Every structure is written in structure tokens, then in C-alpha cells.
Amino acid sequence: MSPRMTRWAAYASIALAIAGCDFGTLDDLSQDKASSGTSETSTQSLALWKAYDKPDDDVKKAVAEIAGVVERAGGRPVQVTIDDLTKDDLGVPSITRDPTACQGMLVITELDCSLAQIEKLAVAKNQADIYPGSYDKYKRTYQTNIQDFVSGSAPTVTWKTEYTVSLLGRTYEAVLTGGARRVAGAAPGGGAMLVSRTVLDEPARFVAGGDAEFNQDYQLEAFYEIAPSRVVHYYALWREFRVGSLTSSDNLYINVILGNLVDFDVRTSKVCRDNTPLPAFE
């Protein structure tokens, strides 16, 4: 897809340069308007976050009403803001920063993918190949056995991601802790659900350019099939970011990030349909 440069391109490009999600930046620029989510979209997002590292039964309880929440959220793609993530909600002892400084955002899309495809693409090492033009450097290191997860013999996998991004004279380095888990019977209709969570370990380090901060980023994703080769992607994130006077709570930033996350899923659907590039784990 070719870049769509608009009068907002300079600000949008800066926003994307500091986007910091585990999947990198995007070339396409969107300006879709985000609205405030309902109380139940916030409740669902927080429930999923808090249940992520708990037993399967807790995850199933947390997503018991997700089909209704998704349907009532409106026609897809859904792009809305959600409530704050509190320190008690966060539940990550290594993080001492205040997560209420983050802006909460939510995207709900549908992917032209099977859940089996998503289970591999979401955990693959070659994210820079799957989503080209995203990184200066990218390295994902598995902390548990990836082959056990891919084969289905293990329900979880964890990893560290180190990456570098440059755009508009700014370059930053970041380290993330990520993971995914397969929860049998959690999806509407009784199928499996894939849930993934990512935490920015510490504020990103800017190695070129100034007057910018990327202090916090917390992401929670859930995937489940609603038909053959049709997957709902529920994607909540909370982020604290600033470059100059532009912050992650500004409407411009929110609209750009959410719009481009939708475009990101357009790319994911294309990868699934074309079956290329293939996910790599070595």
C-alpha cells in the first residue's frame, strides 16, 4: 500500500514514529475519527488485561460476554477510547510508573484469517518481514519453547523484543516483554481463543532527536474465529507518549494510531490470504 500523505502528515508521521507497538510503525496514514467507548468496552478491556496471567477459568469468565460487547460496540472496525488502566489493574510488580498517565484506546476488527494462521503470525520472530518498513532493527527472543507452542503441546509462550525505530530525525530503542496463550473453550461458541499481552519494560531510549518521551505502553489482544477464515481481533492498548506538544491524549494522535492499527489488520488479512511471508520461529 502506498503512503497517503495528507495535511496532517508531519504530525501523523511523528505519532507513528513513537507508536512503539510490538508490530512497529506503518507507512499508511489514516485520520479516522475515534469516539469514546461505552462503559462495557472499558470493562471488557480491563477484565481481559487482569485475567491474562490467571487460570483458564478466570479468562473464560472475563470473556464470557465478549460477543455481545463486540456487537454492541458498533460496526467494525470499531475505534474508540477506553478508561484508564490503574496501578492495581496493571499487576506488573516491575513497573513503578503510574499507568493512569496513559491514554486508553481500543480497536475491534475482523481478519480474513483462520485462528491457526493468527496463532503463528502473532508469535513469529520475523515481524519485520511480515510488516515491512517498520524497523531499523528488530530482535525477538523466546523465553519459553516456541515449538511446543506452535505444535499445540504447550498453551503459552513468552518472549523479549528489542527494536529500534527512526522517523523524522528521531530514533528510539525499546525493550518489550510479550507473550501469548491459547485458551481452549474461551471463545463464543466454545472454540479456542488466543490472548496476547505486551508490556514496555522501561521508557524508550531516544538515541537521536530530542523533546520526546515514550514512557509507557501496555497492549492486550484477543482473537477468536466467528466463521472459517474469519477472526475477530479485539485490541486494547494504554500508552503514555509525547513529542513536542503532541501527546497520546490528543485527538490527532488517537485518531492516527487507531486508524493505522486498522490498516495494520488490512495487511494481516493480506498476509493470511496470500500465505506469504510465512511465519518464522528460528
pLDDT computed for residue 47 by the predictor: 98
Taking residues 109-138, report their average pLDDT: 95
The DSSP element (H or E) to which 138 belongs, if any, is strand 137-142
Query: Please, which pLDDT band fits residue 8 given cuts at 50, 70 and 90?
Result: very low
Query: In terms of pLDDT, which residue wins out, 164 or 4?
Result: 164
pLDDT computed for residue 243 by the predictor: 86
Alpha-carbon torsion angle 108, 114, 116, 122, nearest 10: -40
CA 194 vs. chain centroid, Å, equals 13
pLDDT computed for residue 135 by the predictor: 87
168, three cell numbers: 523524522
Taking residues 97-126, report their average pLDDT: 98
Give 166-183 pLDDT, tens digit per residue: 876 789 999 999 999 999
Query: 497517503: which residue's cell?
Result: 4
**95: number of Cβ within 10 Å:** 16
Q: Measure the CA angle with vertex 46, ends 44 and 50; round to 5°.
A: 120
Taking residues 115-142, report their average pLDDT: 95
In the chain, the percentage of residues whose pLDDT exceeds 90 is 78
Half-sphere exposure of 113 (CA within 13 A, CB side): 26
